[in-house]
């Protein structure tokens, strides 16, 4: 799973969101590091919809603009959980090795 996909699913895990709200939430949870652009966002949304990981929650018209809210499906939830586990196990390994390295080298950089 590529990072934008993971972040979009994470944004939708909290509550159904429309496109622009997803962009803002992704920016917030990454501390401003990732600001998705419309093309990238809708490439991910379209693919996730096709794969059945998200679905349309509702549509609203705000200031004559269409807002479509997306929500996570059951499959999306499982997929996000699996990816989260994978990332966590990798992070754990990296963390353990870094700790070992620090212990062996006595805290001094090599």
Partner 1 sequence: MTDRTAAKQGPGGHANGWLGMTDRTAAKQGPGGHANGQPGMTDRTAAKQGPGGHANGQPGMTDRTAAKQGPGGHANGQLSVNALEIRYRRLLRAYPAGHRADYEEEMIGVLMSGAGEGRRFPSPADTFDLLRAGLTVRLGRVFHTNRGTGWRDAAAVTGLFAALVLAGAAVSRLAAGLWLWGRGDPMRGLGVDGLMLADPAARAVIWPLVVLAAVLGLRRTAVGLAAAGVLVQAGVMILWSAILLPVWPMFLLWQLGLAIVVTGLFAFSDRPVRAVVGVRGLALVAAAAVVAAATETAARFGVEERPWFDPRSFDVFWDLVHYWVPGLILAAAAWTAGRRVRGRVAVLSASILMIAFVLQALDQVVTELRYSGPTVGGVLSAALLFLLPLAVFGGGVLLLGVRERLAARGHGHVRAHE
Residue from 3, 42, 78, 100 touching partner 1 (CB under 8 A): that is 42
CB nearer to partner 1: give 68 or 77.
Answer: 68
String of contacts with partner 1 for each residue 54-93, x by CB under 8 A: -xx-----xxxxxxx-------------------------
CB nearer to partner 1: give 50 or 104.
Answer: 50
Residue from 20, 81, 88, 89 touching partner 1 (CB under 8 A): that is 20
What is the rounded CA–CA span in Å between residue 68 and residue 91?
35
What is the rounded CA–CA span in Å between residue 88 and residue 29?
17
| 41 near partner 1 (CB under 8 A) | yes
The CA-CA-CA angle for residues 37, 18, 71, to 5°, reads 115
| 40 near partner 1 (CB under 8 A) | yes
What is the rounded CA–CA span in Å between residue 34 and residue 25?
10
Task: Dump strand ranges (E) for 63-109.
Answer: 65-72
């Amino acid at each position: 799973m590529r990072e934008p996909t993971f972040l979009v699913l994470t944004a939708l895990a909290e509550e159904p969101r429309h496109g622009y709200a997803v962009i803002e939430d992704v920016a917030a949870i990454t501390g401003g590091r990732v600001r998705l652009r419309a093309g990238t966002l809708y490439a991910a949304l379209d693919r996730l919809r096709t794969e059945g990981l998200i679905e349309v929650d509702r549509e609203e018209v705000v200031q004559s603009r269409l807002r479509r809210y997306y929500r996570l499906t059951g499959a999306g939830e499982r997929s996000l959980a699996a990816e989260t586990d994978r990332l966590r196990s990798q992070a754990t390994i990296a963390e353990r090795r870094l700790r070992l390295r620090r212990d062996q080298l006595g805290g001094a950089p090599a």
